[in-house]
Amino acid sequence: MINVTKTFLPPIEEYNKQVQRAWDNEWLTNRGELVLELEEKLKEFLKISNVIATNNGTVPLQIALKLLGNQGEVITTPFSYVATTAAIVWENCTPVFVDIHPEYLTIDESKIEEAITDKTTAILATHVFGNPCNLEAIEAIAKKHQLYVIYDAAHAFGVQYRGKSIFDYGTISTCSFHATKLFHTGEGGAMFANDSDLQAKLFYSHNFGHDGPLAFHGLGINGKMSELQAALGLTVFPYIETILAERKKVVDFYNENLDFSNLQALKIRDKTDWNYSYYPIIFENEQQLLQAQKDLNEANVFPRRYFYPSLNTIEYSKGKTMSISESISSRVLCLPLYVGLREQELSTIISIINNKLRC
């Protein structure tokens, strides 16, 4: 079976060595030695100054919205994973959708200003499939209207834009370390802020608001990463360059062999060092997608309709029609992409898609 992704699993013996450290320390949570070491390694690899490791990738969005959303309107994208919109609604904010760019698939920055009202408090945009938003334009809009910018960078680990980490942009940036991601801790995530005061608020917010064992800065929840999660991250970490290189090989093979006369590929924004996190293809119509998916499934290949449906169509989001997002969502399919995919398997996938498009 060839699934859309496959978790990268380092040798179990290497993981056991990291877990043994936690056993020896008799310390399994509350920011032990392994979590602190992982954060330092992430700062060094990503060339950033601040990172807070968390227990998943959704809690950082919720904390960011709790601190910055102020129960107002949050301008966001309809083309993302459901967690993006769900976090907005969960934190008693109102999602206001703006349609997407038809090639980059990120929020269309040219449509943001017309969606701003006196109730708008923040912009929450997603770097789709690791592809950066138009950062300069969004920053200018936010500055003009005195809005916060939160980036859902769940897919963007290792991405650089204009020579610096994608996590250096925005008021707050978040990431996921879910098992399906290229760097993972099984479950996990991280949040980033350059402002030291805001970073301090993020920190205490993910630790019940604690100021030492007996005092409190303010309201908080439990967003802490465990030592067992950090142990897995520390075991995966030495393989990052190999993971990126192997995923690039798969992407290059798709690029060189798929017939794009009837397919649309993701357009990566200029000045971006991409991370090969996903491989979406966009068919001319939904029927083509469904036929190709059926043939792939019969060959024991299971791509994913990702992102589907367009989030403005979900009942609790109460969004207006977003014609581009709804169209793309109905036609986009993410193909298998992970370390260990063989050329023979890729050739089978490509042959099925190309043959179906020629019918």
Rounded to 10°, the helix 323-331/286-298 angle is 30
CA nearest to 350, candidates 286, 260, 264, 277? 260
Residue 358 has pLDDT above 80, yes or no: no
Q: In the structure, what pLDDT confidence band is assigned to residue 189 with cuts at 50, 70 and 90?
A: very high
Record the pTM: 0.97
Q: Which H/E stretch holds residue 346?
A: helix 343-358
Q: In the structure, what pLDDT confidence band is assigned to residue 359 with cuts at 50, 70 and 90?
A: low
pLDDT averaged over the chain? 97
Among positive and negative, which fits the CA dihedral 84, 50, 55, 197? Answer: negative
Mean pLDDT for 60-82 is: 98
Nearest-angstrom CA–CA distance, 131 and 275? 9
Topology of 239-358 in CATH? Answer: Aspartate Aminotransferase, domain 1 (3.90.1150)
Model pLDDT for residues 111-146, shown as the tens digit of each residue: 999 999 999 999 999 999 999 999 999 999 999 999
Residue 16 has pLDDT above 90, yes or no: yes
DSSP annotation of 117 reads: -
Q: How far is CA 27 from the centre of its chain?
A: 30
Class of CATH domain 2-238: alpha beta
Tokens of 193: 């802020």
Model pLDDT for residues 209-225, shown as the tens digit of each residue: 998 888 899 999 999 99
| pLDDT value of position 356 | 76
* Pairing relationship of beta strands 148-152 and 172-176 according to DSSP bridges: parallel
Mean pLDDT for 16-42 is: 98
Domain boundaries, the chain: 2-238, 239-358
| pLDDT value of position 319 | 85
Per the CB < 8 A criterion, the answer to whether 182 and 244 are in contact is yes
In the chain, DSSP assigns E strands to 2-3, 52-54, 73-76, 94-97, 120-126, 148-152, 160-161, 164-165, 172-176, 189-192, 210-211, 215-216, 263-265, 272-273, 280-283, 301-302, 332-334
Tokens of 44: 């060094």
Cβ neighbours of 89 (radius 10 Å): 16
